[in-house]
């Protein structure tokens, strides 16, 4: 499949994309908003001529933060346009950079030539930086047509994903050849990009950018102070974070067993997707756990058994509150999450 066939199929699939947005908006109403941006219409005013960074969702936005801050320092005269694809990613970008006047944000339009062209005509970036593996053939081709170099940052490519890309070599190889630089995490991934068509001189192993994340030295102090406010300094506290549907019941069952030996144990339960906050809270109540929602700001009392982490941008702080942690995604066929 070449890019022409890919584009035709994408256009034909747009009604399905619309249906998917509608279905997702039933659980997460934010998906029904800013739809025009997904086609390069109704976009916010963008100052042209800067650097464009694409981070598909929350995890990539957090990983990109040190790089974006470094770009702000190194190029003080340039605006930086940060795009994503999800409402949660958008919220995270606003939380990270909402006070920075040189950061401008919008959704990345879908990968059809007309939408990609309109976006680039508005942003006119001098450089495009894509986080991890969010590669869109038409966006990359439109950049190449305009002479805009495209770099992949924190690149990763599993063996399984490489096989998937390899099945569409007529689409993948020209796309990778049009890119200017690949900063990838490991040599194995570097070789996979080369095998798929990336020019060898453009591929470099740089390690994972996630290790460049700087943690606020006050974080543990604030967490300790809050536990003191809860009179929970001596309570065993554990967190189950980024859980998916089907995992919460298992976690709560484990917590019930834990309470047999540690009756004062506290569980911090953090669903990965905001649209599940209400249903998980109802599950905790049905299972008979005294539950406090973090979003209410209410104190955790001695009888509280579960704290539901239903806020955005606080996960690092919630981890700091806990003595031990379980990272979700591995109790269902999802593949787990990067620790």
Element of type H or E holding 170: helix 169-177
Backbone φ/ψ region at 249: left (φ over 0), alpha (ψ -120 to 50), beta? alpha
Q: How far is CA 290 from the centre of its chain?
A: 31
Give catalytic status of residue 134 as yes or no: no
End-to-end CA distance of the chain: 36
What does the block give as tokens for 280? 């998980």
Strand pairing partners for 292? 307
Tell me which residue of 202, 217, 52 sits closest to 121, measured CA to CA. 52
How many residues appear in the chain? 339
Tell me the C-alpha distance between 79 and 56, whole Å: 19
**Of 37, 60, 178, 247, which one is the catalytic site residue?**
60
Asked if 13 and 181 touch (Cβ cutoff 8 Å), the reply is no
- Active-site residues, by number, are 60
């Amino acid at each position: 499949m070449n890019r022409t066939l890919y584009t035709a199929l994408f256009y034909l699939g747009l009604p399905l994309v619309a249906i998917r947005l509608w279905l997702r908006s039933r659980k997460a109403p934010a998906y029904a908003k800013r739809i025009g941006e997904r086609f390069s219409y109704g976009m916010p005013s963008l100052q042209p001529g800067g650097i464009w960074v694409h981070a598909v969702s929350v995890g990539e936005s957090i990983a990109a933060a040190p790089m974006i801050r470094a770009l702000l320092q190194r190029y003080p005269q340039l605006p930086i346009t940060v795009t994503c694809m999800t409402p949660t990613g958008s919220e995270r970008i606003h939380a990270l950079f909402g006070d920075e006047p040189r950061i401008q944000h919008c959704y990345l339009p879908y990968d059809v030539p007309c939408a990609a062209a309109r976006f680039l005509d508005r942003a006119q970036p001098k450089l495009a930086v894509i986080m991890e593996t969010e590669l869109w053939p038409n966006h990359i081709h439109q950049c190449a047509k305009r002479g805009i170099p495209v770099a992949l940052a924190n690149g990763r490519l599993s063996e399984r994903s490489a096989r998937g890309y390899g099945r569409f070599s007529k689409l993948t190889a020209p796309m990778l050849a049009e890119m200017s630089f690949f900063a990838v995490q490991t040599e194995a991934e570097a070789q996979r990009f080369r095998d798929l068509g990336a020019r060898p001189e453009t591929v470099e192993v740089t390690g994972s950018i996630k290790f460049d994340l700087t943690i606020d030295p006050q974080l543990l102090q604030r967490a300790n102070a809050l536990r003191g406010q809860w009179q929970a300094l001596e309570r065993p506290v554990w967190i189950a974070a980024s859980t998916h549907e089907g995992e919460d019941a298992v976690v709560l069952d484990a917590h019930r067993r834990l309470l047999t030996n540690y009756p004062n144990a506290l569980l911090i339960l953090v669903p990965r997707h905001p649209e599940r906050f209400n249903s998980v809270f109802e599950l905790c109540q049905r299972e008979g756990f005294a539950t406090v929602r973090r979003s209410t700001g209410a104190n955790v009392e001695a009888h509280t058994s579960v704290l539901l982490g239903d806020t955005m941008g606080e996960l690092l702080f919630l981890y700091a509150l806990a003595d031990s942690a379980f990272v979700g995604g591995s109790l269902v066929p999802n593949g787990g999450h990067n620790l």
